[in-house]
Amino acid sequence: MLIIEDLKVEVQGKTILEHIDLEVPPGKTYILFGPNGSGKTSLLMAIMGFSGYKVVKGKICFKGEDITNLPINERARMGIGMSFQRPPSIDGVKVRDILKICGAKDDEVNELASNVHFLEFMDRDVNVGFSGGEIKRSELLQLMAQSPDLLLFDEPESGVDLENISLIGNAINYLLKGISQGKREYCTYKERSTRKRSGLIITHTGHILNYVDADMANVLYNGRIACQGNPREILRGISVHGYGECIRCLNNCNK
């Protein structure tokens, strides 16, 4: 689904990511760990094609096509969707409007919103004055309307309260499985267990692992992928030894 080869990304002339190789196969969900400032957000922004994140080397392929130089909206149209860590506010554009932009039909908008308890925000300006948790739900809702094949989540659960975390966790799970919220009670076990969509989820806490079956985790350290492995094992490793271990891994790799 997504193949990244030897990617090097610069932000304002400074190298932020280097030697990134990453493959997310169809139907698989990958986790991305890494300390603050290690480049996780930058990697997702580069995959999405944001102009501040300049690919100076390597390439990004999606569904077999080289998308390294495609404009953002064409990547979106091909089926990449992203939930942002810090989305901009847009004055005068209502949540209702942006959901339609994302592809929701008039009569779907309210149903989608009620899934993540967001009905009362439909006539608010997008992200204007939203709390941290509200931003997460708004982002998720937009992805639900977009229904992409590759879902990029940038810390979807950070700062979310205990009650909402299961709401968000489950919504992400269903989104990854391509099951629309309304239908989930009726679908068969087989439908539930066969995933076509792929995911890449940035998390610090790993709470999302309680809701989503993740196949693999990568640790980003200082702009490089330090290691790869079972998500729970890596999470355990990080919580016991901290990211300090990654330095050793990186050194080993480079030897």
Partner 1 sequence: MSKQLQQIDVEKFIHEGGEHPYIDDLNQIPADDQQRMILAGIDVSEEERSGTYIQEDHSVVHCKTRQDGLEVLDINTALERYEWLRDYMWRAVNPDTDEFTRMANHISHYGYFIRALPGARSLYPVQACLYLKTENLSQNVHNIVIADEGSELHIITGCSTSKDLSAGLHIGISEFYVKKGAKLSFTMIHNWSEGVVVRPRSITVVEEDAQFINNFIILNPVKSLQMYPTTYMEGPRGVVRYNSILVTPPGSHVDAGGRVYLRKEGCRAEIISRTITTGGHIIARGHLIGEVPGIRAHLECKGLILGDGVIHAIPELEGRSEGLEMSHEAAVGRIAQEEIEYLMARGLSEEEATSVIVRGFLNVDIQGLPPQLQKEIDKAIQKGEKEFF
Ligand X SMILES: Nc1ncnc2c1ncn2[C@@H]1O[C@H](COP(=O)(O)OP(=O)(O)OP(=O)(O)O)[C@@H](O)[C@H]1O
User: Which amino acid appears at position 211 of this protein?
Assistant: Y
The sign of the dihedral angle between the CA atoms of 135, 102, 170, 120 is: positive
Element (H, E) at 133: helix 132-146
Residues 76, 74, 26, CA angle at the centre, nearest 5°? 50
CB of 127 to partner 1, least distance (A): 9
Choice between 63 and 184, CB closer to partner 1: 63
Tell me the C-alpha distance between 252 and 81, whole Å: 35
Q: Which of 205, 197, 142, 207 is CA-nearest to residue 174?
A: 197
Choice between 205 and 251, CB closer to Mg ion: 205
Element (H, E) at 216: strand 216-221
Q: Residue 71, Cβ neighbours under 10 Å: how many? A: 11
Side-chain half-sphere exposure of 163, counting CA atoms within 13 A: 3
**From 12, 13, 36, 92, residue interacting with partner 1 (rule: CB under 8 A):** 92
Burial (CB < 10 A; 0-12, 13-18, 19+), residue 240, is: exposed
**From 4, 7, 9, 16, residue interacting with ligand X (rule: CB under 6 A):** 16
Of the candidate spans 40-48, 68-76, 119-127, 171-179, the one that interacts with ligand X by CB under 6 A turns out to be: 40-48
146 binds Mg ion (CB under 5 A): no
CB of 176 to partner 1, least distance (A): 18
Site for ligand X in 46-65 (CB under 6 A): 52
Choice between 41 and 146, CB closer to ligand X: 41
CB of 156 to partner 1, least distance (A): 15
List the single partner that 64 binds among Mg ion, partner 1, ligand X, none, CB under 5 to 8 Å by kind.
Answer: none
Tell me the C-alpha distance between 142 and 109, whole Å: 10
Choice between 62 and 243, CB closer to ligand X: 243
CB of 44 to ligand X, least distance (A): 8
Choice between 21 and 50, CB closer to partner 1: 50
Which residues are near partner 1 by CB under 8 A? 48, 50-51, 71-73, 75-77, 81-82, 84, 87-88, 90-93, 97-98, 101-103, 125, 142, 146
The footprint of Mg ion (CB under 5 A) covers: 41, 85
